[in-house]
């Protein structure tokens, strides 16, 4: 009898986790959309530091969106999808840093370099 209770508890827990993930996904997408609008409207008048910080946040949000979508759909994350996403974001961020290094604030550059190192470490673990 206790075994049946565990099954129901696991099902309830799964439903709650899925609902929480959907809510988190909605919040991240809303933030991503607002930042995207900000970048479109203010890219010509915003400081380079604000722009680089916004782009760094966008990259992080895009990573989170992909992770949450994978967890909702498959109940977990597949290593190959994670590796492909990390590789894509690593390449994009590397190009962005090379192109905008002179216009980025030291703090934004340091944060982006740390994020890149974390991506490299995870990619190495997955390969």
**For residue 76, with 0-12 CB atoms within 10 Å meaning exposed, 13-18 middle and 19 or more buried, which class applies?**
exposed
* Other C-beta atoms lying within 10 Å of the C-beta of residue 83: 15
pLDDT of residue 2: 47
CB atoms closer than 10 angstroms to residue 112? 22
C-alpha R_g of the chain:
19
- Predicted TM-score (pTM) of the model is 0.53
Rounded Cα distance between 57 and 108, Å, is: 10
Pull the structure tokens for residue 89: 């974001």
Q: What total of structural domains would you count in the chain?
A: 1
Which domain does 104 fall in, by range? 2-126
Contacts for 30 with CB less than 8 Å, ≥ 6 apart: none
- pLDDT tens sequence across 75-109: 654 556 677 778 888 888 888 888 888 888 888 88
- 46 token code pair: 């915003």
Q: What is the pLDDT of residues 29-51, one digit of tens each?
A: 999 999 888 888 877 777 777 77
Q: Would you state the structure tokens that stand for residue 12, as one six-digit string? A: 């309830």
- Judge contact between 39 and 16, C-beta under 8 A: no
């Amino acid at each position: 009898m206790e075994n049946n209770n565990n099954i129901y508890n696991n099902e309830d827990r799964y439903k709650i986790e899925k609902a929480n993930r959907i809510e988190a996904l909605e919040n991240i997408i809303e933030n991503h959309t607002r930042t995207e609008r900000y970048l479109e409207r203010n890219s010509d008048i915003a400081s380079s530091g604000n722009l680089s910080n916004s782009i760094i946040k966008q990259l992080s949000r895009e990573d989170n969106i992909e992770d949450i979508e994978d967890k909702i759909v498959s109940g977990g994350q597949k290593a190959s999808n994670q590796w492909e996403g990390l590789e894509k974001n690593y390449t994009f961020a590397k190009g962005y840093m090379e192109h905008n290094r002179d216009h980025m604030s030291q703090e934004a550059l340091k944060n982006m370099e740390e994020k890149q190192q974390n991506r490299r470490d995870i990619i190495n673990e997955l390969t």
